């Protein structure tokens, strides 16, 4: 088993180093007073995810249909080419990952689509989960040409959630003969936890008061759900990290055991002018007062993290 994930924290947090096999987190959590280091982003010659890849969603615990729709609409928005979607869009944000493919030694392409959704509303493995059990849940999805995403509900306690991370991504041994980009024995997976009641100040910022640093008022969540809108931020970060560093030898900065990836290399940045405690200049919905930076399908609005642009070696925001 190997896993690694991305971080999405405000820039004043120290990045916590996890020594569990190739593990990096969506928002790595630790203490304040970090000194920002130069970005030494590198390609480590490994494969990226390519071709047609399905994103399968495994819902563990209780989620309302409206909550599941927030996430499924996000995935569909990432690959939507509908001209009716206002700009900047989720698809525009996702298109930025193409630069990683263009700069790799074997330029290729990736097409994502929403795959199957699996519901486990009866907590088949209990309400307290280990890393191995997350991997077990991820294996329920198709393991060929896929990314399996495990979404755990607010009442599910997952090893490391809140104490060191908000989510993770990695790869695991496949139980089938399928393959992803020539990796016949592995499949890619993501886990994201709903931190609405457990640690929103760590994992749902800027939609909740942060636990460290400047105590600016929290922003209003664009889908009126602090937990799910926070999950979308973490999922977006991890999805970008998964496709550009699926097996631990793709694009990242820093040590392999705790890599900073496409989104986690730009912690706490959502709009221009961002600084510790301030997410940046964002659009505000005139009716709800919600902050966002990307439009999606079905009238959705989302807040998505900045991505590191490898062509100019800097973090790039949508607006």
Give pLDDT tens digits for 251-285: 999 988 889 999 999 999 999 999 988 999 999 99
Write out pLDDT tens, residues 64-120: 999 999 999 999 999 887 777 799 999 999 999 999 999 887 778 899 999 999 999
**Taking all residues of the chain, what is their mean pLDDT, rounded to a whole number?**
86
Question: Which residue in 46, 90, 56 sits closest to 259, CA to CA?
Answer: 46
* pLDDT number for residue 174: 78
pTM of the model: 0.87
Q: What pLDDT sits at residue 31?
A: 40
As a whole number of Å, the end-to-end CA separation of the chain is 38
Give the residue ranges of DSSP H helices in the chain.
65-78, 90-95, 98-103, 131-138, 200-203, 226-244
pLDDT value at 11 more than 50: no
**pLDDT over 90, % of the chain:** 68
- Predicted local confidence at residue 28, as pLDDT: 54
Q: Is 126 exposed, middle or buried (0-12, 13-18, 19+ CB in 10 A)?
A: exposed
pLDDT for position 215 = 85
Between 18 and 181, name the one with better pLDDT.
181
Give 127-186 pLDDT, tens digit per residue. 999 999 999 999 999 989 999 999 999 999 999 988 888 999 999 887 754 444 444 568
- The pLDDT, as a whole number, for residue 296 is 96
**What does residue 2 show for φ and ψ, rounded to 5 degrees?**
-140, 140
Query: Does 8 have pLDDT greater than 80?
Result: no
Which pLDDT value is given to residue 80?
81
Is the distance from CB of 238 to CB of 26 less than 8 angstroms?
A: yes
φ and ψ of 292, to 5 deg: -160, 170
- Cα distances (angstroms) measured from residue 45 to each of 104, 117, 247, 259: 8, 33, 11, 15
Q: What would the mean pLDDT of 194-199 be, rounded to a whole number?
A: 90
Query: What is the longest distance spanned by two Cα atoms in the chain?
Result: 51
Q: Determine the pLDDT at residue 23.
A: 43
């Amino acid at each position: 088993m190997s896993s690694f994930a991305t971080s999405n924290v405000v820039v004043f947090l120290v990045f916590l180093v996890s020594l569990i096999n190739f593990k990096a987190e969506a928002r790595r959590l630790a203490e304040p007073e970090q000194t920002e280091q130069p970005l030494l982003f590198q390609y480590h010659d490994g494969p990226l995810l390519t071709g047609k890849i399905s994103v399968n969603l495994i819902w563990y615990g209780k989620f309302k249909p409206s909550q599941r729709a927030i996430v499924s609409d996000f995935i569909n928005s990432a690959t939507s080419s509908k001209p009716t979607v206002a700009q900047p869009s989720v698809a525009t944000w996702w298109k930025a990952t193409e630069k990683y493919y263009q700069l790799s030694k074997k330029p290729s392409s990736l097409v994502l689509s929403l795959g199957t959704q699996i519901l486990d509303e009866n907590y088949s493995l209990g309400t307290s989960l280990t890393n191995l059990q997350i991997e077990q849940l991820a294996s329920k999805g198709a393991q060929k040409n896929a990314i399996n995403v495990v979404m755990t509900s607010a009442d599910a306690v997952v090893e490391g959630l809140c104490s060191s991370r908000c989510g993770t991504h990695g790869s695991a041994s496949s139980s089938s003969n399928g393959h992803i980009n020539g990796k016949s024995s592995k499949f890619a997976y993501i886990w994201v936890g709903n931190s609405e009641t457990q640690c929103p100040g760590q994992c749902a910022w800027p939609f909740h008061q942060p636990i460290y640093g400047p105590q600016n008022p929290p922003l209003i969540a664009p889908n009126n759900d602090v937990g799910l809108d926070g999950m979308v931020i973490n999922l977006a970060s991890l999805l970008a990290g998964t496709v550009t560093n699926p097996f631990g030898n793709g694009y990242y900065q820093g040590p392999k055991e705790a890599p900073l990836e496409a989104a986690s290399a730009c912690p706490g940045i959502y709009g221009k002018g961002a600084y510790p405690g301030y997410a940046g200049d964002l659009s505000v919905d005139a009716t709800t007062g919600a902050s966002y930076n990307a439009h999606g399908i079905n009238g959705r609005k989302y807040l998505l993290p900045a991505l590191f642009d490898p062509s100019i070696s800097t973090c790039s925001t949508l607006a």
